[in-house]
Structure 1
Amino acid sequence: MTNEEIKRLVDEVKEEVVGWRRHLHAHPELSFQEEKTAQFVYEKLQSFGNLELSRPTKTSVMARLIGEKPGRVVAIRADMDALPIQEENDFEFVSKNPGVMHACGHDGHTAMLLGTAKILTRLRDRIQGEVRFLFQHAEELYPGGAEEMVQAGVLEGVDVVIGTHLWSPLEHGKIGIVYGPMMASPDSFHLRIHGKGGHAGMPHQTVDAIAIGAQVVTNLQYIVSRYVDPIEPLVVSVTQFVAGTTFNVLPGTVEIQGTVRVFDEKLRQSVPQWMERIIKGITEAHGATYEFQYHYGYRPVINDDEVTKVIEETAREVFGDEAVERMKPNTVGEDFSAFLHRVPGSFFYVGAGNKEKGIIYPHHHPRFTIDEDSLEIGVRLFVHAALKLLGQPA
């Protein structure tokens, strides 16, 4: 199909897509609790016709559009969950659920994939192969909905998987492309240091857990600066340091938490060993003991070069060279990696920020929103990319 033909089809559904996004924004649900959201999606898909629908998990939906002839199987994913944030926007479709908000764009992702499904169902007679629409729950909360869907078999027979993220740091009209490593693994750690509490005026009678903890925090930074090749991306961030109750008491215990972000799997396995070696050395040197827990989060998002090239070429053909922006990896996490771990695919950005409209707030902010004109761009790119990927040899 020509660009103009697909644009006409997108124009016919774009108001519906905006309406779906606003409905979802007004009725957000937290991870693993997306029952009404999943039912809304299921009913919309059912109304399109030509789809085989199923519920892989309690709060997810899968729709299969099987073409007239056999061919490749292309999966497209959208996440549906919201965040535990009290919204501070004042538009008419503001969240009706206190303390819950779509502050990351998942309402837009779901609406775009619904629009894509509606258009492609009209084109079933032109489809050679299958398009599989994955409406995923619980992206925001580990262990994540993607892994649950994979375990439920949604990738069986799939040749390629794609997905997108509406991205507020990227201006409306831009498509962000990343080859290879795109997003890091969001691992976490928890450390409890046990010293000996006592009077702050007589520190010699104590084992000062705060002083020991401060040394641990400082020395953990040597992992980034001295253990690892300077061109190898790694983040070790201490985000919580809890100790003490008043000014004249040295506490006996300190609790430290934080996160580790990395792209390389071998390096990822080494970091907790290095951390514990530092922790063990410092605590033993000062007569303290410790408890250390390291939790592996989502895998890194690693895009397949060939699929990413198709996405980039499609974006250039549809929107022009000036719309495409090659972007650097970043160290946020995304459980789309569960799909990419099994099937080649690509995750890309659709610009959703707009300074002229005041759409400037970052993801996970209580005043986050998106430029709704970006929804049309996402739908067009999904439709074009799906048709192009179906046309490639398996």
Structure 2
Amino acid sequence: MQTTEEKLFETIETINESIIALRQQLHEYPELSSQEKETTALLKGLLENAGLTVRIFSDHYGLIADLVVDKEKPFIALRADIDALPIQEQSEAPYTSRKPGIMHACGHDSHTAILLGTALAFMQVKPLLDSNVRFIFQPAEEITEGGSSQMIKDGVLENVKAIFGLHAYPYLNTGQIGYKYGVMLASADTFEIEIFGKSSHGARPHEGVDAILVTSMAVNSLNHIVSRQIDPLHPAVISLGTIEGGKAANILCDHVKLCGTVRSVNHDVRHSIPKMMEISLKGITRSMHATYAFHYNYGSPEVCNHDAMVDLVREAGESVLGKENTIDLIDPVMGGEDFGRYLEIVPGAFFRLGTCNRDKGTCVSQHNSRFNVDDDALIVGMKIMGAAALRAMKNA
């Protein structure tokens, strides 16, 4: 007699080609963060047709699909993000983006298709399940505010006992997954700095306050915070991404604006960095007779996995793919993911899905105009998500 997992996998194999087609359709019609109207409408129709209870929202394009076997039992939650990036695609796939300047350059199309497929497969084994399952299709992961906050506010984690998510990863081969105990991804904050000087003729600099000169000193100082003020055993990054200022070659600039990001994998370090930045800015501007404005925005927290939930992902990976293809990633990376907000509230784990196939050219890094996902990875994602959820049900 087939086990629940065997029946689930059999269903996944049956629907795999249709899930690949869906992924390619999503890739052709990407939508930016907070604009995922058509994506959500498509998912809603497919999920409702399969018999799931679907909930949408008036103030964002998130979607929750519930599979309920017993109203008295808790939910195991599985999550995917659905938004795309403002990048002009340059891949050679036959299903390239039809929307100029927008593409799925981070694999969210594959995440969405995997979760949709997992939901359809679970519906086929519903009578065999030990717990309820909630499928979370989250908008706006790519922006600082993060769609996870909106979903949490709207009750997505109510009665949820465990949550799992995955991310396409071109640094592992198709047929592999990566797991990580503890902190897996960094917090992702942003900041804006304005330096105010005094305009004057470029030939008479003593009559003005050169905001560009002050800014150059500030940039230098900010870049020494990580190397000289933070314990090197606690990785952190302060990166300036934009700088704007000046109107003419012969006029001293009176206003410069800088924007950047801060990453950290340590809570205490994260909250100390803005204070260090403020001290540097205050000292430099005061000594140069300038002023400043400093705006710091705390974004998504660290993605800190729960050991017991990582155990379930690792066990699922070793069972489905073998130990040799279930990779301990060991070290965190400085990328961010707002999945961390869910993990602050309920136990869960985030894992990497290998998508690199050199013959297909799918080993390009995320947020690159040539990024693409190997469709052979989708069935792996569905099986691992499904197997991890089944294991979590036993402890729910």
TM-score, with length taken from structure 1: 0.95
Partner of 1:130: 132
Q: CA deviation at 1:204?
A: 2.8
Deviations 1:86-142 (CA, angstroms, capped at 9, x unpaired): 222233322122222111111111110111111111111111111111111111123
Partner of 2:120: 118
Q: CA deviation at 1:2?
A: 7.0
Conservation of the 8 A alpha-carbon contact between 2:187 and 2:302: yes
Partner of 2:334: 331
Q: CA deviation at 1:196?
A: 2.0
1:257 to 239, 256, 259: 259
- The letter for the 1-side match of 2:369 is P
Partner of 1:372: 375
* C-alpha distance in 1 between matches for 2:10 and 2:122: 13
SS at match of 1:131: strand
* C-alpha distance in 2 between matches for 1:60 and 1:317: 33
Conservation of the 8 A alpha-carbon contact between 2:8 and 2:125: no
Q: CA deviation at 1:156?
A: 0.6
* C-alpha distance in 2 between matches for 1:305 and 1:110: 25
1:13 to 9, 12, 15: 15
SS at match of 1:199: coil
Q: CA deviation at 1:69?
A: 8.7
SS at match of 2:91: coil
1:94 to 88, 93, 96: 96
Q: CA deviation at 1:368?
A: 1.2
Q: CA deviation at 1:4?
A: 5.1
Partner of 1:54: 55
- The letter for the 2-side match of 1:332 is G
Using a 3 Å threshold, how does the CA distance of structure 1 residues 167 and 28 change in structure 2: closer, same or farther? Answer: same
For structure 2, the residue ranges without an aligned partner over 5 or more in a row are none
SS at match of 1:89: coil
1:204 aligns with 2:206: yes
2:393 to 386, 390, 393: 390
What percent identity do the matched residue pairs reach?
40
Q: CA deviation at 1:84?
A: 1.5
Partner of 2:300: 298
1:340 to 329, 340, 343: 343
Q: How many residues align?
A: 392
Instruction: Return 80-89 or 108-117, whichever deviates more.
Output: 80-89
For structure 1, the residue ranges without an aligned partner over 5 or more in a row are none
* C-alpha distance in 1 between matches for 2:89 and 2:229: 42
- The letter for the 1-side match of 2:39 is T
Partner of 1:177: 179
Conservation of the 8 A alpha-carbon contact between 1:56 and 1:149: no
Partner of 2:318: 316
Conservation of the 8 A alpha-carbon contact between 2:172 and 2:356: yes
Q: CA RMSD in A?
A: 1.7
1:363 to 355, 362, 366: 366
Conservation of the 8 A alpha-carbon contact between 2:234 and 2:269: no
Deviations 1:219-249 (CA, angstroms, capped at 9, x unpaired): 1123212221110111111222222233333
Deviations 1:321-344 (CA, angstroms, capped at 9, x unpaired): 111112221111111122111111
Q: CA deviation at 1:6?
A: 4.0
SS at match of 2:105: coil
* C-alpha distance in 1 between matches for 2:156 and 2:337: 18
Partner of 1:106: 108
Conservation of the 8 A alpha-carbon contact between 2:53 and 2:66: yes
Partner of 2:66: 64
* C-alpha distance in 2 between matches for 1:71 and 1:343: 16
2:28 to 26, 29, 51: 26
* C-alpha distance in 2 between matches for 1:212 and 1:167: 41
Deviations 1:8-38 (CA, angstroms, capped at 9, x unpaired): 3221011011011011111111111111111
* C-alpha distance in 2 between matches for 1:336 and 1:56: 19
SS at match of 2:299: coil
TM-score, with length taken from structure 2: 0.94
* C-alpha distance in 2 between matches for 1:142 and 1:191: 17
* C-alpha distance in 1 between matches for 2:55 and 2:254: 54
Partner of 1:214: 216
Using a 3 Å threshold, how does the CA distance of structure 1 residues 118 and 376 change in structure 2: closer, same or farther? Answer: same
- The letter for the 2-side match of 1:335 is D
